[in-house]
């Protein structure tokens, strides 16, 4: 347990994951307000939306406007999710966006078929085409992302062997195309992970692919989000996706529960209280969380913005003494 990192890098995905799943239409003004608030929290990476087909994801139809209107704070990296050539070309229209390519890997062939309409072979071909496209457009491909790495609602448990084979194939494919991957995102898309599964999978990936930085994308759908994040920290993981207020969830995963990604301010509190620097101002993130709750118009899963930070209590106790 001595492997806790000294600091972590937080990738804020609230605007993208969060707004994507909200049923009610949110105004572009509100979305920009939240992104601008997040820009002032100290978080260094914000994903602000998706360049995806607005017929499939209507809540992302205004992403051009968002990108044009959001305030760019120096030192903060803004990104937009894209899935195809059209999305990539859109992203490249905006110099304020950080754009890179990723190899998307689907351990669940069933989900790949349902979500993307492809066989594994067709998908590998698509990944090659994506690399070629990125090369032609001077976009670096640095990341592999394992979706539903711990289990899938349509395929069941995912074995470590399958993950390792998929990654070995992906690295071979990347190498064949002259691409050197740097980061491996392990996503618990459908909330199947337990802390021990996190330790097992992260440990195996670190052993087998030591040159890749691990990044965890965790969902709190079964209440284990922070437990899984803590398990990742004990393995030395330093990169975590999270969503302000705990917004989010994947609209295609057919979750019955409402909970989305791990909550940024809860994760920040846990890290900072354990002496792990996040670079995030917790009070500012709690304020952004309150704004997010106001904007979505329903209770959000995050805890800390309601319960208050411990530093706030410490200050009150000290003042009273």
Cβ distance to a copy of itself smaller for residue 49 or 249: 249
**Least Å from the CB of residue 22 to a copy of itself:** 18
How many angstroms from the chain centroid is the CA of residue 159? 22
Among the listed residues 134, 243, 250, 263, the single catalytic one is: 250
Residue 19 touches a copy of itself, criterion: CB under 8 A:
no
Q: Binding mask 212-241 vs a copy of itself (x if CB under 8 A, - otherwise)? A: --------xxxxxxxx-xxx--x-------
Among 3, 38, 110, 18, CA closest to 287 = 38
**How many CB atoms sit inside 10 A of residue 309's CB?**
19
The dihedral formed by the CA atoms of 297, 252, 219 and 210, expressed in degrees to the nearest 10: -140
Q: Rule CB under 8 A: which of 262-321 touch a copy of itself?
A: 263, 266, 269-270, 273-275, 299, 302-304, 306-308, 310, 313-314, 317-318
Among 189, 198, 181, CA closest to 237 = 198
Q: Rule CB under 8 A: which of 182-211 touch a copy of itself?
A: 191-192, 194-197, 199
Range 22-27 contact pairs with CB under 8 angstroms and sequence separation of 24 or more: 22/59, 22/247, 22/296, 24/296, 24/297, 25/58, 25/59, 26/59, 26/295, 26/296
Q: Binding mask 142-181 vs a copy of itself (x if CB under 8 A, - otherwise)? A: ---------x-xxxxx------------------------
Residues that bind a copy of itself (CB under 8 A): 1, 4, 151, 153-157, 191-192, 194-197, 199, 220-227, 229-231, 234, 255-259, 263, 266, 269-270, 273-275, 299, 302-304, 306-308, 310, 313-314, 317-318
């Amino acid at each position: 347990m001595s492997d806790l990192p000294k600091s972590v890098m937080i990738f804020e995905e609230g605007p993208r994951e969060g707004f994507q799943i909200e049923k009610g239409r949110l105004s572009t003004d509100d979305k920009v307000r939240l992104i601008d608030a997040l820009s002032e929290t100290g978080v260094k990476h914000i994903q602000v939306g998706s360049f995806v087909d607005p017929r499939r994801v209507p809540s992302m139809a205004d992403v051009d406007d968002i990108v044009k209107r959001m305030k760019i704070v120096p030192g903060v990296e803004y990104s937009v999710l894209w899935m195809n050539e059209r999305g990539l070309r859109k992203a490249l229209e905006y110099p304020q966006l950080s754009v890179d390519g990723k190899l998307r890997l689907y351990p669940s062939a069933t989900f790949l078929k349902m979500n993307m309409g492809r066989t594994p072979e067709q998908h590998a071909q698509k990944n090659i085409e994506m690399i070629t496209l990125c090369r032609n457009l001077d976009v670096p491909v640095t990341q592999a992302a394992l979706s539903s790495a711990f289990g899938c609602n349509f395929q069941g448990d995912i074995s470590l062997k399958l993950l390792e084979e998929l990654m070995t194939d992906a690295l071979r494919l990347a190498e064949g195309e002259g691409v050197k991957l740097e980061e491996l995102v392990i996503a618990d898309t459908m909330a199947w992970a337990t802390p021990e599964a996190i330790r097992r999978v992260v440990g195996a990936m670190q052993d087998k692919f030591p040159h890749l930085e691990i990044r965890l994308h965790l969902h709190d759908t079964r209440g284990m989000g922070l437990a899984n994040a803590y398990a990742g920290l004990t393995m030395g993981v330093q990169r975590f996706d999270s969503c302000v207020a705990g917004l989010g969830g994947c609209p295609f995963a057919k979750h019955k529960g409402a909970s989305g990604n791990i909550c940024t301010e809860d994760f920040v509190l846990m890290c900072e209280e354990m002496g792990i620097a996040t670079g995030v101002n917790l009070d500012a993130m709690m304020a952004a969380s309150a704004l997010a709750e106001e904007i979505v118009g329903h209770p959000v899963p995050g805890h800390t913005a309601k319960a208050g930070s411990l530093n706030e209590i410490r200050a009150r106790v000290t003042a009273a003494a």
